[in-house]
Amino acid sequence: MNVALDITLPRPGSARAAWRTGTSEASAPRILKQRFVLEERLGSGGMGSVFRARDLRKVEAGDRRPYVAIKLLNNDFRAHPEAFGALQREAARSQALAHPNIVSIFDFDKEGDLPFIIMELLEGHELAALLRVYPTGLSGAAARVVIATLCAALAHAHSRGLVHADLKPGNVFVGADYQAKLLDFGLARAVASESRSAVSDRFGPHRLGALTPAYASPEMLAGMPTLPQDDIFALGIVVYLILTGRHPFDRVSADRAAAQGLQPERPRGLSWRQWRVLRRCLDFRREGRPDSALWVAREFPVRTPFFARMTSGIRADDRALDPTARRP
């Protein structure tokens, strides 16, 4: 299903000029490893700043597309003793998560005490920027494509034993055909499993101050081990934003929203079946949420063979949609 963008947004650099950043243009070296020439800062997130860079090796080889994206750690983040390992794990995990809806990571390196990741340069815009242009949400066809492809990315990561742990519009990139790309697995942690090594992954959002309260589940805010259901909670918030342009709890953190008894309104035009699934994603209790992003994807289908394969194992009966329903 091809859905063309019907708007022209500013170039990514200018669209993000108002972002809070921690790595200044002046403090970033212009050339890394005598190879990557930093030309434009594209934006910043919890872990660091992303630059558009020209790869001189590609230029030398006559490559018509010599540009890559370079991610540098923010100055304050870089000072944390676990930061280098966190960035290395992001590179390794993202490389292992080869998927059309997850950003491709090419390599990981270090310039002096400055670690960085080399990754694909994406064409399009952050979901956060699109939602500023569409304050009441995306159109039906576009919304379905973004939601379905975002769900595909999450389902793939979860199937590989990884939780994103910082899903939000700023970590979702949308291409010209509205295909979503999931960014920033720097906060990802191995899902707890008895079959895994006893060596624990000590890196966590709380320890590095990189958790986003408006999208974090109550369990994450309480410092509990991260599970796929925590991504499902954030997914519910992002889907709600895609459909309405509004945060379901007015950006109140989940623990405060639960304490205040806040309940989201059903978005206009959403069927009761769709709302039932989305409402389950927004449950303040882990056990009330679906165990897979594919439950959400099924309710916002796009007509592609890939989507049919992706959801082929999902049963359609209402009892299966309700994770709290008693099984026979």
DSSP 185: -
Which among 63, 109, 113, 166 is annotated as catalytic?
Answer: 166
**Cβ pair 281, 290 in contact under 8 A:** yes
**Residue 288, φ and ψ in degrees, nearest 5:** -90, -10
DSSP 11: P
**Beta carbons of 188 and 90 less than 8 angstroms apart:** yes
For 327, residues 6+ apart whose C-beta sits below 8 A from its C-beta are: 319
Closest CA to 259 of 296, 278, 284, 235: 284
Dihedral over alpha carbons 25, 46, 160, 236 (to 10 degrees): -130
Beta-strand ranges (E) seen in 187-305 are 189-190
Does the active-site annotation cover 166?
Answer: yes
Which are the catalytic amino acids? 166
